[in-house]
Structure formats: structure tokens, C-alpha cells
Structure 1
């Protein structure tokens, strides 16, 4: 059951998308796109939801202003100092400084970019994308190494990895080439969600189709996979501007 509610905030009306579903607790999310979603247990009354949202008006406005002020950008089409991005489920602010060489490093919640070409936005963008590709691939390889034993005992060779930008898939696999393809932007997701995508693709080397055997095997090895998929579909997908299911 889906519905909408409007709150009156200091900056105008705020639209909330409300969905009742089989969850144990209420969840309120503000996305960088400005979309606000509340998931509530089926039995929660409209009055309780209204009171809850009224109590959260200040926090919602603060979150909206944060995303506006920091310029959170799912695709990082324009890299500039002060904007925020998500890595492994955590928001990190980008700081760009001039330096003699090109260098990028993470320090707690900051991504520090050093470059002698501060005025050349294209060079900065390419520098950032090369770094992101390298970091994401290293993390994905470690994840594959950790989860590969699930299928190794069935005589499946460990697949190779390719990281690339994809608009409609988090991952895919080629059984004939022995390769897994993972989405460049999957590095934004939290580790449990990345584990879900990697395990999903590994299992396809045993079960090519999404049939009963596939889902039974997935459920045995990751009982909460549906919740991990839900987070990907309703949080990360919306941040990137994808059309989620």
C-alpha cells in the first residue's frame, strides 16, 4: 500500500512517499535526489505515521539542505571540491588541492584529490574515474575471493573480473568466458549489498537461470538476500537516478 503525505517545512512543502510493507520497524530515508521515502509495518496507523513524520521535519529539512549544499552527485559527472559522494555505503566529502603530482587518498570521511591541473575539469574527472575503477576492482576481487568457496566445492573455477559502467545491471556473468562483470557504481553500496551481487553472479555459474534451484541455493547461503536487494533497489538505485523496480 502506497500513499503520499506533505509536510510544511521552512522551505516549503515536503513530499513524503509512504509504503506499508512486511518490515519490523519504520525506516525513513532522504535521498540526494530530494526523494523522501518512509517504509512502515503494515499495522501502523496513519495517526502514528503523521506524528512520527511531524517529529522528523527538522531532520528531513537538515538532510535536504545538506545534499543541496554539498552537491551530492550520484554519477560524479563534475568533480569539484566540497561535493559529497558515497563509497561502501558511507558519504564522503571530496576536497581538491593543488599539488605537483596527481594523487588521491581517503582520510576517514574525506577523499583528498591532489592535482597540478585544477582548472582542467576533464583531467580531474579522468583522474578520479581511474582511481575509483582501481579501488572498486580491488574491493570486488577481495569479495570474490571470500565468497568463491561457496561454488568452488562444486568444481567451478574462480572467474575473472571486469568492472565497467552499466545503466541497467549491478552485475552479469559470462559462463563461457569464465568472467563476472560488476557495475562501476556498485562501489557506492554497503558491503552486505556488494556481497549479495557477487554471490548472485557466482551462483549463476552453477544455475544459469533464475529458477527454483537458483533461489534455494542463494537462500541457503544468504538467507537475508531479499533485504539486501531491497536496499540496492530503493536506496542506491534512486541515488544514481536509475529507474528502480
Structure 2
């Protein structure tokens, strides 16, 4: 079997319309040239062995608009939120405010807010998984009264529609903040919402209440949501920026 050819990568630079294009070039045993723009904005080009860097540069210039467009698209994407850690001093949110984790020894496991700290008590130092489970259970216990308070704030906006007041349920969900079953007027909300500011919680609840009137995410749905909560995009963005 013949060995495939692959030279060491080269760093190349071109000037295109007063913009500098950096790319990594590698020559391989292939027939066509390949272009790739990665999420970090870096450009990687695979060219057929035997072609010259000058020929590749001409192809890059022809593809420059495509490259710049993809770089702009990736640059416009929001940075992923940081992941949560469960160690002493790590920040965790409750109603939009950060609290530092502190661990103390106690006979019974519990969680309590003390000043600017979330104090986790347990008979022995908890593992990260145990601390996570303890904190999630505490969030779930806080959720029901906070959700009821949110409904009291949000529901008057729907008075004109003469709807049946929905019932609320706390439900852990992997990929959603909430869901709605219009037929039974039942709304399920993630206990993770107690980590966000009340305005973010109100946005999610209002979103689900809008589904009592419009079941899909059509233009009619978003027109209704915008009429009832004009700045909903602000609260959605803040909610999605919370550490995962």
C-alpha cells in the first residue's frame, strides 16, 4: 500500500481589502483543495500535494468573502456560559444573585443562605456529586412558592383573554426551562429557574402562558409575547447566560 503524503503545516498570511487573512496550509495526497473555518475563527486549508503556495494563495483570495463571512458568523455567536463547580468558594446563583459555597459539618444535610454564602451542611465533607444533589434539591424546594409569586405577577396580563388560570408543577428538564399543555392548562417549570432573577422567571412563565392561546412558535405567538412583554429578549439572553 503506498504511503499517503502530508507535509508539515505552514502558517500563511494574505492581505484582502485591507484585511489580514491568516490561514494554516497543509499539502496532502488529494485531488482538490479544501477550505475550513473553525468556530474559533481559524482557517485551515488542505491543498493537493505538488501545488504551490502561490497557487493556494490565489484560491484563498477567490474564497476570501466566504471565509470572512464565516468568521463573522462565529464571532457573533455568544460565548458559552461557564460551567458550574461544586467546591468551596465557587459561585452559585439564587434569584439572580451570586453566592459562594461554604461547607460545614452537621448531623443533618441542609442548605441555607447566610449573607453572601450558600452554606451546605452534611455529616462528612460531600463529594462534588453529593454537593450538586444537595443544592439541586434545595432549589426544587424553593421553586414552588417562587413560581406562585411569579404567576401572581404575570397572570393579570392575560385578564383580557378570560382564560382558565393554569396550574403549575415543578419538573426537572434537561433542555427546557418550561412546557405547557394548553388542553389541561398545566405548566411545568424547571427548578433551575430559581437561580435567575425574578424577571427571567416571569419571562419563561409568560412564554408558557402565551401557549394557552397559541400552541406553536409562529409569528402570531411572538407578536402576542412581545405585546405582553416588550423586553422579553433581554430576559431570555440573561437567562441563557447563567452558568450551566
Regarding TM over 0.5, the answer is: yes
Query: Secondary structure of the equivalent of 2:136?
Result: helix
- The two structures, once aligned, show a CA RMSD in angstroms of 3.0
- Counterpart pick for 2:196 among 174, 189, 195: 189
Equivalences, count: 176
Alignment of 1:112-151 (within 5 A): 112-118=119-125, 124-151=131-158
Q: Quick one: distance in 2 between partners of 1:207 and 1:19?
A: 31
1:212 aligns with 2:229: no
| Structure 1 partner of 2:76 | 19
- Counterpart pick for 2:162 among 155, 172, 180: 155
| Structure 2 partner of 1:224 | 231
Q: Is the 8 A contact 1:83 1:93 kept in 2?
A: yes
Q: 1:174 to 1:94 in 2, by over 3 A?
A: same
Q: Quick one: distance in 2 between partners of 1:117 and 1:224?
A: 46
Q: 1:93 to 1:201 in 2, by over 3 A?
A: same
| Structure 1 partner of 2:100 | 93
Q: 1:153 to 1:83 in 2, by over 3 A?
A: same
- The TM-score with structure 1 as length reference comes to 0.61
Tell me, which stretches of 5 or more residues in structure 1 are unaligned?
A: 7-16, 21-27, 34-71, 74-78, 241-245
User: Which of structures 1 and 2 has the bigger CA Rg?
Assistant: 2
Q: Is the 8 A contact 1:196 1:228 kept in 2?
A: yes
Q: 1:18 to 1:165 in 2, by over 3 A?
A: same
Q: Quick one: distance in 2 between partners of 1:209 and 1:117?
A: 49
Q: Is the 8 A contact 2:166 2:185 kept in 1?
A: yes
| Structure 2 partner of 1:52 | none
1:166 aligns with 2:173: yes
Residue 185 of structure 1: how far off its partner (Å): 2.0
Tell me, which stretches of 5 or more residues in structure 2 are unaligned?
A: 1-38, 43-73
Residue 184 of structure 1: how far off its partner (Å): 2.6
Q: Quick one: distance in 1 between partners of 2:185 and 2:155?
A: 13
Q: Quick one: distance in 2 between partners of 1:134 and 1:220?
A: 33
- Counterpart pick for 1:110 among 111, 114, 117: 117
Per-residue CA distance 1:206-233 (angstroms, 9 max, x = gap): 2222233322221122111122223334
Query: Secondary structure of the equivalent of 1:197?
Result: helix
Q: Is the 8 A contact 1:147 1:199 kept in 2?
A: yes
- Counterpart pick for 2:207 among 200, 211, 232: 200
Q: Quick one: distance in 1 between partners of 2:150 and 2:177?
A: 15
Query: Secondary structure of the equivalent of 2:141?
Result: helix
| Structure 2 partner of 1:32 | 82
